[in-house]
Structures are given as structure tokens and as C-alpha cells.
């Protein structure tokens, strides 16, 4: 099955999009020289959805794009129904492109009695019959391990590296990981940037309240700090890191984070923080009301399209 998919021509593929991030799906399709295929999402008065494939997909290799960001459960259910509808319509193979993979943070049992959400999602997707998963900046390698099918794990770090190279390299900047969990990420980015120096903040999060605190930085930081993270959710991590960096007399702080989850008051917190600029990607669609002047969005469409082309 995988060989057949590998040998298929891009122009013979079909690409479908769920409703969570249609602009990105359209951009991926454009980069592939394709147009989005037809899909009907009918909403019943009680909120239940009926999914119907409007194009012929019999014996075709198909791509489905759906970010499973908030509302996570709803976006997952929609994806599940799209995959089921495609399967019933006789597709040859299905590649699920999940640019932001919801529930990825619960990748193991942190405290006795918890569910491992990632494993549950992996089981459902595999049992529905997807052949391959493409995702961007997964929280940990445990997510890939939860699957038995091929997982293409892309990273926005190459996009960030190019951007930083163009704008920052000559200005003495230091990469900063806002927590110990991001050390691997920051080391990879540092290598991409001719060993740009890096430092790490020791962050603590209270598992019960979600409260974030940080007091220690390991490594020397120059006048400019480039904080890199996989996602911004409540904004607490960036807010705490910024306060600590300012306390340490860092003059300019820039933030690069792949996934703009932006829950609750995050946009307000980020705009009012002492950060100069926040760069995120379009793995999650940011609606107008969540955009703010300090925010700039870089696209992962080409990165995803290239990985589809070279599969
Ligand atoms: C944590 O391990 C992640 O890498 C992010 O730092 C975290 O999820 C960001 O969340 P928040 O914005 O709520 O602090």
C-alpha cells in the first residue's frame, strides 16, 4: 500500500480539508498544484455533524488536512468522520495531515490514575484505517511511538532558522529555551544557526493549578534573547520567561513558537508583555479576534507540501 502511494503522481491525488484550518489546507493544495476536493459538513440542530465526500475517490490516494486544535474534541470527531467517509468511498490510501496534533501533551501518565490521551487518539486513527500521519513539531517522540503506521514528523525549526538567519544573526542574540523540555529543540536550532549560543530556563508548573514559575537561567545571554517553544497556550510560560529575562537585564526579547494555541487571555498577556515580537506558524488558524500587533504568522504550507511531494 505504501509503495503504491509513494509511486503515485501528485496530480492524481485528492486533498480534502476539515473546517479547522481551511486557509492552510488551501495553501498546501496550492503548493501541490491541486485544489481542495469537495466535502459537505452538514450540522444538525443539536450540533451533530454529517460528513459527505462530494468527489470520486475510488482507488485514489487521498490527503486529509485537519488541525485538531480547540475545539479539540469537535475537530477530532470531524476528522474521524471524514476518514470513515473516505474509506467507505473506496480510497486506496489516506494520509492524515494534522499540523497541530491535539491531546499531545498528555503523552504519558504524569500522576497515577490519568489516561494517556495520545495513545487513545492513535488507536482510533489507526483503527479507522489511515496509512500515514504527517504532523508538525510534536511535543515529544512518545507521540510517534504511539503509532504503528509511518509518522512524518516535520519541524518549523527550519523556517525559524531561515528567518533568524536573515534578521538576527549579525546582532548578538542568544537562543533561550523556556523550560528543560525544550533543550533538544534549542540545540537543533543552534546547530542550524552555526552554533548560535543558547541558554535554558528552569521552569516549574504546578500540575494541579497550572501555575508557572521560573527563577534560574543556565547559560549566558547577550542583549537579545530569542525564546523558542513548541506552543503557546495560556501564555504563562512566555510571560514567566520574559519577566525573568528582564530581571536579568536582557534588552530585547523575541519569541518563536510553532503552535499558536492561544487559550484564554493569551493574546492580551502576550501583547502586554515586554516581548518585542512573537512569531508563530499557521498550524493553527488564528481568528481575527485573537490577532494582536506584536504577532507575526509564518506559513508551514510549503514545508508540508514538500514532504507530501517527496513521500
Ligand atoms: C510545555 O512543555 C510546552 O513546551 C509549552 O511551554 C507549554 O505548553 C506552553 O503553555 P503555556 O503557554 O500555557 O504556558
* pLDDT level of residue 18 (50, 70, 90 thresholds): very high
> Active-site residue 203, yes or no?
yes
* pLDDT level of residue 12 (50, 70, 90 thresholds): confident
Q: Give the pLDDT of residue 171.
A: 63
Catalytic residue among 14, 119, 132, 203: 203
Ligand 1 site, residue 231, Cβ cutoff 6 A: yes
Ligand 1 pocket test, pick from 103, 184, 231, 290 with the greatest ligand atom count within 8 Å of Cβ, gives 231
- Over residues 220-235, the mean pLDDT reads 95
Of 190 and 209, the one with more pLDDT: 190
- pLDDT of 4 higher than 50: no
Ligand 1 site, residue 230, Cβ cutoff 6 A: yes
- pLDDT of 288 higher than 70: yes
Give the tens place of pLDDT for each residue, 59-108: 999 999 999 999 999 999 999 999 999 999 999 999 999 999 999 999 99
Q: Which atom of ligand 1 is nearest to the CA of 233?
A: 12
Ligand 1 site, residue 229, Cβ cutoff 6 A: yes
- pLDDT of 219 higher than 80: yes
Integer Cα distance of 271 and 276 in angstroms: 9
Lowest mean pLDDT of 28-32, 72-76, 203-207, 295-299, name the range. Answer: 203-207
Give the tens place of pLDDT for each residue, 124-138: 999 999 999 999 999
- CA of 33 from ligand 1 middle (Å) equals 36
Ligand 1 site, residue 236, Cβ cutoff 6 A: yes
Give the tens place of pLDDT for each residue, 21-73: 999 999 999 999 999 999 999 999 999 999 999 999 999 999 999 999 999 99
Q: Give the pLDDT of residue 7.
A: 52
Ligand 1 site, residue 239, Cβ cutoff 6 A: no
* Widest CA span in the chain: 62
- Over residues 108-115, the mean pLDDT reads 94
Nearest residue to 279 via CA among 159, 199, 105: 159
Averaged confidence pLDDT in the chain: 94
Q: Which atom of ligand 1 is nearest to the CA of 235?
A: 12
Ligand 1 site, residue 177, Cβ cutoff 6 A: no
Q: Give the pLDDT of residue 9.
A: 87
Q: How many Å is the Cα radius of gyration of the chain?
A: 20
Q: pTM of the predicted model, to two decimals?
A: 0.93
- pLDDT of 1 higher than 50: no
Amino acid at each position: 500500500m505504501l509503495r503504491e502511494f509513494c509511486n503515485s503522481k501528485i496530480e492524481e491525488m485528492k486533498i480534502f480539508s476539515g473546517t479547522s484550518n481551511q486557509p492552510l489546507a488551501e495553501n498546501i493544495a496550492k503548493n501541490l498544484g491541486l485544489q481542495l476536493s469537495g466535502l459537505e459538513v452538514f450540522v444538525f440542530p443539536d450540533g451533530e455533524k454529517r460528513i459527505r465526500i462530494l468527489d470520486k475517490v475510488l482507488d485514489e490516494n487521498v490527503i486529509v488536512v485537519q488541525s485538531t486544535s480547540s475545539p479539540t474534541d469537535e475537530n477530532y470527531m470531524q476528522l474521524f468522520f471524514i476518514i470513515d467517509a473516505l474509506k467507505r468511498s473506496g480510497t486506496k490510501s489516506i494520509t492524515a495531515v494534522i499540523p497541530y496534533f491535539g491531546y499531545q501533551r498528555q503523552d504519558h501518565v504524569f500522576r497515577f490514575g490519568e489516561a494517556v490521551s495520545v495513545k487513545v487518539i492513535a488507536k482510533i486513527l489507526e483503527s479507522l484505517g489511515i496509512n500515514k500521519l504527517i504532523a508538525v513539531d510534536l511535543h515529544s517522540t512518545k507521540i510517534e511511538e504511539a503509532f504503528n503506521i509511518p509518522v512524518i514528523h516535520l519541524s518549523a525549526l527550519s523556517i525559524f532558522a531561515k528567518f533568524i538567519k536573515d534578521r538576527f544573526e549579525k546582532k548578538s542574540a542568544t537562543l533561550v529555551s523556556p523550560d528543560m523540555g525544550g533543550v533538544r529543540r534549542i540545540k537543533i536550532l543552534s546547530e542550524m544557526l552555526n552554533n548560535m549560543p543558547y541558554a535554558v530556563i528552569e521552569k516549574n508548573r504546578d500540575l494541579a493549578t497550572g501555575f508557572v514559575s521560573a527563577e534560574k537561567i543556565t547559560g549566558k545571554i547577550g542583549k537579545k534573547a530569542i525564546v523558542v517553544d513548541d506552543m503557546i497556550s495560556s501564555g504563562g510560560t512566555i510571560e514567566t520567561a520574559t519577566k525573568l529575562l528582564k530581571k536579568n537585564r536582557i534588552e530585547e526579547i523575541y519569541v518563536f513558537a510553532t503552535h499558536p494555541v492561544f487559550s484564554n487571555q493569551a493574546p492580551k498577556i502576550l501583547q502586554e508583555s515586554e516581548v518585542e515580537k512573537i512569531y508563530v506558524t499557521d498550524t493553527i488558524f488564528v481568528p481575527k479576534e485573537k490577532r494582536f500587533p506584536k504577532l507575526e504568522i509564518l506559513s508551514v504550507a510549503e514545508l508540508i507540501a514538500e514532504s507530501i511531494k517527496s513521500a
